Chains A and B, each alone.
Chain A
Amino acid sequence: MSLYIYDEIDQRVVDQRVAQYRDQTQRFLAGKLSEEEFRPLRLRNGLYVQRYAPMLRVAIPYGILSSQQLRMLAHIARKYDRDYGHFSTRQNIQYNWPKLEEVPDILAELATVQMHAIQTSGNCIRNITADHFGGVARDEIVDSFVWCEIIRQWSTFHPEFNWLPRKFKIAVNGASVDRAATHVHDIGLHAVRDDKGEIGFRVVIGGGLGRTPIVGPVVREFLPWQHLLTYLEAALRVYNRYGRRDNMYKARIKILVKETGLEKFRAEVEAEWALLKDGPNTLIAEEVRRVEARFTKPAYATLPENDTALAEKLAVDTAFRNWHQRNVFPHKVPGYAAVTLSLKKSGIPPGDATSAQMDAVADLADRYSFGELRVSHEQNLVLADVRQSDLAAVWEEAKKLGFATPNIGLLTNIICCPGGDFCSLANAKSIPVALAIQERFDNLDYLHDIGELDLNISGCINACGHHHVGHIGILGVDKNSEEWYQIQVGGNQGETKQGEIRPGVAFPGASLGKVIGPSFARAEVPDVIEDLITCYLERRDSEAERFIDVVHRIGVEPFKKAVYGKPDSKSPRRSRQLATA
């Protein structure tokens, strides 16, 4: 189950929104709507005015796309932009060069394939994000997409919650491993089952990154599914009424939870919920079935659990084996696998894809994965339903496209925001740092030897690149108008350890990184990363002990020493001779 197909009402909502936004744009261009008041209105439709041009963020609800939709995204890149798009950490796509006056036309084209830019920015409920392996992962407890869609509909143009103190992000995860970073969202929902097999949600409220990173606390251990919307409505109402509006840096719900205190906040939400519970917004089984029935369902063939030709190729082809090890994910249906197409090739800004690449991936999806694909919050594309017997062919095709870099989970699978090259908020550039690190660690054998490592880069404290939860996090800072980079280690987005998730059992949660010391100039960053890696390699027990495990075992001090404690730290760092290795 994966792609939700609109009914006529869903379609009318999107079509009428295009007309409404066109009217707003025309009034702005005619001088009837001030710049100041047009701003929050255009933001509610994903249009920022960036450093050099507007930026349009198009919603990809919970990261699912059809090949037809991806071709439309390619078409928009070609027709209205500079022939490429940027897949973001919120499973959306961003165009960096559209013309403000053409945005209504772009939206009209998107509406023809059931897409939109509704609430992709602004202080409202944003796109719902989810596990990019939803519906196919073997550790899945509950298919999260049905619930994502129910929340999407409830949150679309919610009249009461369209002018919140600050933006509001909801993530849903339905597996025993958290692949949706639910603990760093305003609300994180873990779909679980109770002892009787009934579906419900563990509700985490008040996590977040940005300048006050917080791992969100569990506010409710088990919320039966019928009460999902009334509980969300209660939480949002408490936030809308009492969230701070005097200081935008203290306006997220995490600050309300922190300043109110968890127990009191929980009591306030529960008190409001008590008055909404069992009211009209209480979900009913018919509605869940109706939404379920509107999702596409891949027509899986009956296949053997393991493909023998695949096993033979894996035995003899090292390059293929490397790719399979890193970029292929086990599937719950026998004979199938999920393939991650890496958008993290050395020399390309992380998450970027050209229109030609998008068209080619759409073709791959048609030929090998039931015409559907997904965007991961790690800014890659996923073909979720590939036959094992097709993996070798998909690998060959992905190589031609430059999407077969076998680096998923490895150091060069960098999460990176657009940074100072595009974003007007950024203190520093982030893409050149990512490119320099990818170049330094270009040797695949070395990369695989280092093993699993999340490296995340943000160009400013707003943390769009999720630097707090990278095993290594890099933050661009501004000192006297110069770009500097602060390094932290020990963060974890909470997905990498297998754990059991059910009511009353602690979740293997996210952790936040610690800053190792003073900042560095951009040119020094690859050397610093190399020092950290060397320190890790010298101290790990075995290959099974990952970078993050070593940091958690021995602490940050040895890493600090490795970076700052050299006898002559002012001299240029000795670079490891990777190229000749």
Chain B
Amino acid sequence: MANLIRNRRVEADSWLRLELGAGPNETAGALPPVPADGDVIVPLALWQARRDALAARSGKTGVWLDSKDGPESIAGDLARLPLIAINFPSIADGRGLSTARLLRERHGYTGEIRAIGTVIKDLLLGMHRCGFDAFLLRDDQDPADALLAFDELADAYQASAVETQPLFRRRLAGAR
């Protein structure tokens, strides 16, 4: 089922996400094997251990960060990464929102920033404003309904990753 929203469209997902210790015979935390081809999103620990080998693969390689991993953990590698995914372990954990804004606004990252984990309709608009442009919806979400979230609140007072000026400056510019 297509449950990826990218740039406000439902799209097929070409990326395979790998997890630590996910194989049947692996111990917890073990680095997973990486398929030779295809696009993969690898956990940060795997990237840090084998970044040169990963970058030399034929398929594309992205990295996913957990909510505790700040942008500093990946800042030196941004030019090599077409995609960074950020995990939301629960609806309540908003650390990934700061991570995305910092990647966009401080580190100038222009690749895809994808929200993974607890990605539900009610979080999409805020994530979008923080710089996420792709959203891997949780399985129970209705993609058509979720798309409506982007237009629920037309105005934002704040400057953000998608709006460089706060409303008070935009108002002033409009009045001039």
- A positions within 8 Å CB-CB of B: 9, 12-13, 16-17, 19-20, 23-24, 32-33, 37, 40-41, 123, 153-154, 156-164, 229, 237, 240-241, 245, 275, 279-281, 283-284, 286-287, 290
Q: For B97, list chain A residues within 8 Å (CB).
A: 159-163, 240
Chain A residues with CB below 8 A from B101, complex form: 160
Given contacts A9-B155, A12-B154, A37-B120, contact A162 B94 (CB under 8 A): yes
Give bound CA distance, A16 to B155, whole Å: 9
Residues of B contacting A13 with CB < 8 Å?
Answer: 153, 155, 157
Contact of A157 among B91, B93, B95, B156 (CB under 8 A): B156
Q: List 12 A-B contacts (CB under 8 A).
A: A13-B155, A16-B153, A153-B157, A154-B157, A159-B128, A159-B130, A159-B160, A162-B97, A245-B92, A280-B159, A284-B169, A286-B172
Total number of residue pairs linking A and B with CB closer than 8 Å:
102
A123 pairs with B92, CB closer than 8 A = yes
State which of A40, A162, A241, A245 has its C-beta within 8 Å of the C-beta of B126.
A162
Task: Please measure, in the bound complex, the distance between the C-alpha atom of A41 and the C-alpha atom of B164, giving whole angstroms.
Answer: 27
Q: Given the complex, which residues of B lie within 8 Å of A12, measured CB to CB?
A: 154-155
Q: Chain A interface mostly helix, strand, loop or mixed? A: helix
Q: Please pick, from B70, B130, B159, B171, the residue contacting A281 in the complex, using a CB distance under 8 A.
A: B159
Residues of chain A within 8 A (CB-CB) of B168 are: 283-284, 286-287, 290
**In the complex the two chains form, what is the Cα distance from A40 to B93 in whole Å?**
11
A379 to chain B, nearest CB (A): 30
**Bound CA–CA A292/B115 (angstroms):** 40
- Which residues of B sit under 8 angstroms from A283, Cβ to Cβ? 168
A16: chain B residues at CB < 8 Å are 152-155
Interface size on B, residues (CB 8 A): 36
**A159-B129, A161-B97 known; 20 other A-B pairs, CB under 8 Å?**
A12-B155, A16-B152, A16-B154, A20-B152, A23-B152, A32-B142, A40-B91, A153-B157, A154-B157, A159-B127, A159-B160, A163-B91, A163-B93, A237-B98, A240-B95, A241-B95, A280-B169, A281-B158, A283-B168, A286-B172
B165 within 8 A of A: yes
Q: Which residue of B lies closest to A12 (CB)?
A: B155
* Chain B residues, CB < 8 A from A37: 91, 120, 122
A522 to B161, CA, bound (A): 55
Smallest CB separation, A461 vs chain B (Å): 22
* B residues less than 8 Å from A279 (CB atoms): 159
Known A-B contacts A12-B155, A41-B122; A275 and B171 likewise in contact (beta carbons under 8 Å): no
In the complex, the chain B residue whose C-beta lies closest to that of A160 is B97
Contact of B167 with A by CB under 8 A: yes
